[in-house]
Structure 1
Amino acid sequence: MGSGQKPANLTMQDGKGNQQRVWDKLRECQGRISSNLISRKTGIHYRTVKRYMISLKKEGYLEQVGMYFGEPLYNLVKDSGVDFPKIIVGKKESYKETAKEIMWRGVRILGEFSAIDLVSLADVSTPIKLSTAQRFIKHLNRAGYFDLVGKPRPGTLSRYRLRRAMNAGPKTPIVQCGGQVFDPNFGKVFYPVLSD
């Protein structure tokens, strides 16, 4: 958290981060769109919107079609669907699914799993270490996401099952400082319950 970024639960609204909210407005507003307009409609700081829109232009999603009082006007020319283009502002677009996204999808699909099962979901471009899978499971388990399936035998890893009530959607829960988990599907924070 030392990067100066606010925790996800403080920047998200309705389970959506800034880039998703900007993208939704860009898709909603047809025609000549400015950073100022999107900033006003979303309540997101103007410079944040402007930086993201410049990145979208560089990647070919937006096309500049004019100026209005020194402000560039854009048209959306490449609509990639409801999910926002994952662009690191100021860098080339290079989105690949993160290890946590892969593990969360696996947890939702597999039903019953262990850390080894989550590691096996990795591909060459996104490897998952056993320790990463174990940490992911530990934090979500402490926040009440899983039920333990049986007692682990010596030399084997524990097996878990996602609780139905915690399977609210495809967006990956975000582990924050202190082990609290922000779930963008619920739009709320789940705090760890530490057992004795």
Structure 2
Amino acid sequence: MARKPVHLTMKRGKATGRQAVWEAIRRRREFSLNDLWHDTKQERDTIRSYLTALRRGGYVEETGVRPASNGIVGSKHKNAIPMKLFRLARDIGVEAPRLKRDGTPCAQGLAQEAMWRTMKRLPDFTFRDLAVMSRTEEVPVTEAAAKDYLKHLSAAGYLVVVQEGNAHRLASYRFVKARNTGPRAPMIQRLKTVFDPNLCEVVWQEEVSE
């Protein structure tokens, strides 16, 4: 089944899916699967699979078992059966770790996150500057990716063009501080829209020719 665009799986002002689970983990620090379900109301399978990835990746670790409050299996009481307990072992910040099931990083979206962080601390920059300043050994950022990201964020109003490009020089951009909507990077989606996860809304969409 094809994955839905992210803006169809998020509610305005409220995280869902893995992001909601991660935020609950950061708030609680120590927790059970039931605790996370109670906090987020996400599908238990979603929580369980993400916990597996987080544990394998070293972000959480199992600490023991919470004893059952009674011995009646199948009771509706949330503590009717013993529950595994976990604790947050590695807090990397507000953005939920993007992980495969085996706990290894999923590279999707990491380049945009790196560019979003970098452009907010640079004065003026070209796409080449942004690519060079954003890339690391773990997260490669190509000039083509930087050029495309700047084009879309400029169209969405996050950037202003300081100097137009021509045959002899590259266009130069500046980040609009008033558009610093939060720590999570705006996403360029397959439908050529810009979705801002901090606002939980599509902020720009490419016009369709008649």
Pairwise TM-score range, normalised by the shorter structure = 0.7 to 0.9
1:51 aligns with 2:49: yes
Calculate the TM-score normalised by the size of structure 1: 0.80
Contact 1:144-1:192 at 8 Å conserved across structures: no
Residue of structure 1 aligned with 2:129, choices 89, 113, 117 = 117
Deviations 1:107-134, CA, capped at 9 Å, x for gaps: 1111211111112112333332221111
Counterparts of 2:137 and 2:57, CA distance in 1: 25
Contact 1:53-1:62 at 8 Å conserved across structures: no
Contact 2:55-2:103 at 8 Å conserved across structures: no
Letter in 1 for 2:165: P
Letter in 2 for 1:73: K
Deviations 1:127-161, CA, capped at 9 Å, x for gaps: 32221111111111222222111333422211111
Residue of structure 1 aligned with 2:97, choices 86, 96, 120 = 86
* Percent sequence identity over aligned pairs: 26
Aligned counterparts, 1:33-182, within 5 A: 33-60=31-58, 61-63=60-62, 65-66=64-65, 69=73, 72-76=83-87, 78-80=89-91, 82-83=93-94, 86=97, 88-94=99-105, 98-121=110-133, 122-182=135-195
Shift of residue 63 of structure 1?
0.9
Counterparts of 1:57 and 1:154, CA distance in 2: 51
Judged with a 3 Å threshold, the aligned counterparts in structure 2 of structure 1 residues 178 and 76 are, in CA distance, closer, same or farther, namely same
Shift of residue 104 of structure 1?
1.3
Shift of residue 175 of structure 1?
0.8
Q: CA RMSD in A?
A: 2.9
Contact 1:182-1:188 at 8 Å conserved across structures: yes
Contact 1:145-1:162 at 8 Å conserved across structures: yes
Q: SS in structure 2 opposite 1:137?
A: helix
Counterparts of 1:89 and 1:27, CA distance in 2: 20
Calculate the TM-score normalised by the size of structure 2: 0.75
Contact 2:100-2:106 at 8 Å conserved across structures: no
Q: Which residue of 2 aligns with 1:187?
A: 200
Shift of residue 181 of structure 1?
0.9
Q: SS in structure 1 opposite 2:150?
A: helix
Judged with a 3 Å threshold, the aligned counterparts in structure 2 of structure 1 residues 109 and 188 are, in CA distance, closer, same or farther, namely same
Letter in 1 for 2:86: N
Q: SS in structure 2 opposite 1:178?
A: coil
Contact 2:94-2:183 at 8 Å conserved across structures: no
Runs of 5+ unmatched residues, structure 2: 74-80
Letter in 1 for 2:89: K
Q: Which residue of 2 aligns with 1:25?
A: 24
Contact 1:55-1:87 at 8 Å conserved across structures: no
Q: SS in structure 1 opposite 2:181?
A: coil
Higher-Rg member (1/2): 2
Counterparts of 1:123 and 1:62, CA distance in 2: 28
Letter in 2 for 1:65: G
Judged with a 3 Å threshold, the aligned counterparts in structure 2 of structure 1 residues 146 and 193 are, in CA distance, closer, same or farther, namely farther
Letter in 1 for 2:161: L
Shift of residue 168 of structure 1?
1.9
Counterparts of 1:48 and 1:189, CA distance in 2: 25
Judged with a 3 Å threshold, the aligned counterparts in structure 2 of structure 1 residues 128 and 15 are, in CA distance, closer, same or farther, namely farther
